[in-house]
Amino acid sequence: MISSGLIRLSTSDKGGEFVVIPQQLDKAITEEHLRDDTLYRTSSAKEFQAQYRHLNREWVKVARTAGLPRSFIARLKIELPSCPVLYLLVKTHKLSSVEEFASMDPTVFKVRPIISCVGGPTDRIAWFLNVILAQLLNYIPSHLTNTQMFLNRLRSMQLEHNCVVESFDVTALYTNVSNERALQAIFELLIEYQGNINMHGLAVAQIMVLLQECLRCTIFRWSGNYFAQTRGLAMGQRLAPTLAIAFMSRIEAPVLELCPLLYCRYIDDCFVVCTTQEEMDMCFELLNNQSEHIKFTREKPKNDWLPFLNVQVHIRGGSRVTKWYRKPNNKNIIVHCRSAHPQQMKRAVVKNMFRTAAEVCSGEAERKESIALAKHIAASNGYKVGGSNARSRRLQAPRSKSPKKDKIPFKLPFVSDEVSTAIRRCLRKVNLDSLVTVVDLPPDNLKRQLVRNRLYDRFCPTPGCIICPNGKGGDCMGSGIIYLISCSECGDEYIGETARPLCLRIKEHLEGKARSRESTPLGAHRLHRHGGADFGVKVSILAHEQQISARKSLEAFWIHAKNPKMNRKEECLSITRELAPYIRMLF
């Protein structure tokens, strides 16, 4: 039904459940969203190409000036990036009636826009910048990284008898961030704390140049058409969370000057404790007046309890009480007991859930209530949970802090616990268990198998592609590949490797064939094997390997094993005597 164009299968914004929606309605919702000319404008493939080429030139220029290794510069430069794509997540928790769920009116549905930048122009450069900038978050006073940090601040604050507590939430933070103010916040943090963080060889000015270039790459594609985001940050861009947090540090600065009893924030969710309601109202008004597009909503305690992150907080009469919290729209889905996952993973998931439920609680009554909720969730996912308190106490025991020796990961597709145990037993027999650890790779879940974010966009951008028809869409854009070219007429083969996108290397091969260049393998094959007559080819991928030395070795293995006739003698890499015995283990 998906491939026939009837439905689109996705997941909801926060609940995690599957959303089945007619493709006609899905397209109408997206088209309605893209009509917001304050947020988007139309673009073109030519503009996208100009953007990523300019980014690559700036990256190479800055990186060379900074003296970064040439191999590192080449690794982060994507010569033929994928165009980012837009997809929407439906906010099912905003639908309040059966009529709204069944509606075919696109304006009824609230959505969260995601622009997937995986493999895009900024993907690797933004990763590198984020490694540097993420260190600055430690110097933002209100920033929270997890629930435990929040509980520590809550428990250490000085409470007053009649204090007031509320939580504030930013409406659509990412698309309403002022990029200029976010960059200014980052610049000021870098100037102040550059001596305390690892700059990885870059100067402040160089980081700012690369940041600005990354933020200029705003073009994405949907249903074959190109658009550009004109305001804010794209949710899906690697730098977006860090820049949004830095931006919010400037928005909240006037509130911190009022010195509330407690003010802390997890990205766009704020927890505030003030001495009086008047002070709380002043904080809320101040926050709403700091930016044209940034607007806050507020939530007050219900039945004396206020949820924040995965905790409920009760503050009254100078005391604070906390317990575990699950949002009403949370479907409480964890790895099911009968799922094809290692038993060790299932035990860890359940154990961590019970540990969290116990550790966030302030008293025994709250702990019992939270553990009961955890038991209900475990039982609803097929687990048999006992009712003894001893079990709960064991789950609360601290984990071992003893350091583990670094081992080489031996990754294997998970078949069964019996097979994994047998492999570990074999490693022990040959005394490799102290050097190698078996890592079980679970099979793809339903989401990975069924959900497609590029449903309306071909992942393969190559006209007349001869690679993807023999594999899957997008194979031609892969890099770090050992490939096989087969002659459709005589069956002769050529094996090669490339660190660049495969389509670029294959294009070079086809050009050599078209011009009958004897210096190229396909050109020489045309001249000597077919008397100058043209022939068709098929391309398939033999292996993926990003590390150069390993890729060269794999290429040598394949050449040795298949003895392809189109490869010339000087191309056939010699395999050392130590590697040769392993050939028969692979083929």
| pLDDT interval class at 471 (50, 70, 90) | low
Q: What is the spatial distance between Cα 15 and Cα 326, in angstroms, rounded to a whole number?
A: 11
3-state SS class at 273 = strand
State the residue range of the domain holding 499.
468-586
Cα–Cα distance between 291 and 345 in angstroms, integer?
45
Q: Is residue 415 part of a domain?
A: yes
My answer on whether 48 and 105 are in the same domain is yes
If one counts the domains in the chain, the total is 3
441-465 average pLDDT score: 77
Residue 231: inside a domain, yes or no?
A: yes
Is 110 part of any domain? yes
- If we measure between CA atoms, which residue out of 334, 396, 112 comes closest to residue 234? 112
Q: Are residues 92 and 184 in the same domain?
A: yes
End of a domain among 219, 242, 265?
242
What pLDDT, in 10s, does the model give residues 2-33? Answer: 667 788 888 888 777 888 999 999 999 999 99
Are the CB atoms for 279 and 285 separated by under 8 Å?
no
Q: Which candidate, 165, 160, 172, places its Cα nearest to that of 113?
A: 172
Q: What is the DSSP letter of 537?
A: E
How do 436-441 and 408-413 pair as beta strands?
Answer: parallel
- Domain edge (last residue) among 203, 221, 242: 242
If 0-12 CB within 10 Å is exposed, 13-18 middle and 19+ buried, where does residue 326 land?
middle
User: Residue 123 in contact with residue 117, Cβ under 8 Å?
Assistant: yes
Phi, psi of 273 (to 5 degrees): -125, 125
> Sorting pLDDT into bands at 50, 70 and 90, what band is 538?
very high
Reference 537, options 475, 442, 467, 457; nearest CA is: 467
Q: Write out the two tokens for 494.
A: 């050529």
Task: Classify residue 521: in a domain, yes or no.
Answer: yes
pLDDT of residue 400: 41
Instruction: Give me the chain's average pLDDT, please.
Output: 88
Q: Where are the beta strands (DSSP E) in 253-337?
A: 262-266, 269-274, 296-299, 306-308, 311-316, 319-324
What mean pLDDT is predicted for residues 69-98?
90
* Residue 228 forms part of a structural domain: yes
Looking at residue 572, its pLDDT comes to 52
End-to-end CA distance of the chain, in Å?
39
Check whether 473 has a pLDDT greater than 80.
no
Is residue 301 within 8 A of residue 322, CB to CB? The reply is no
Type and span of the H or E element at 551: helix 548-562
Give me the pLDDT at residue 248, please: 97
pLDDT over 80 (residue 574): no
| pLDDT given at position 571 | 55
| Residue where one domain finishes, among candidates 186, 208, 242 | 242
pTM: 0.82
How far is the C-alpha of 507 from the C-alpha of 49, rounded, in Å?
A: 18
3-state secondary structure of 111: strand
Q: Which pLDDT score, from 0 to 100, does residue 142 have?
A: 95
Q: How confident is the model at residue 548 (pLDDT cuts 50, 70, 90)?
A: confident
- Kindly state whether residues 41 and 99 are assigned to the same domain: yes
Q: Are residues 178 and 87 in the same domain?
A: yes
* Statement to judge: residues 432 and 506 lie in one domain: no
- Average of per-residue pLDDT across 91-109: 89
Does the residue 234 lie in any domain? Answer: yes
pLDDT at 537: 93
Q: Per-residue confidence at 443, pLDDT binned at 50, 70, 90?
A: confident
40: pLDDT confidence band, cut at 50, 70 and 90? very high
Question: What is the secondary structure of 47-72 as a DSSP string?
Answer: HHHHHHHHHHHHHHHHHHHHT--HHH
Residue 395's pLDDT is 40
Percent of the chain past pLDDT 70, that is, above it, reads 92
Residues 67 and 17 in one domain: yes
Read off the CATH number of the domain in which 556 is found.
3.40.1440
What pLDDT does residue 4 have? 74
Q: Tell whether 546 and 419 lie within a shared domain.
A: no
Query: pLDDT value at position 458?
Result: 66
555, 496 contact by CB (below 8 A): yes
Measure the CA–CA gap between 583 and 587, rounded to whole angstroms.
6
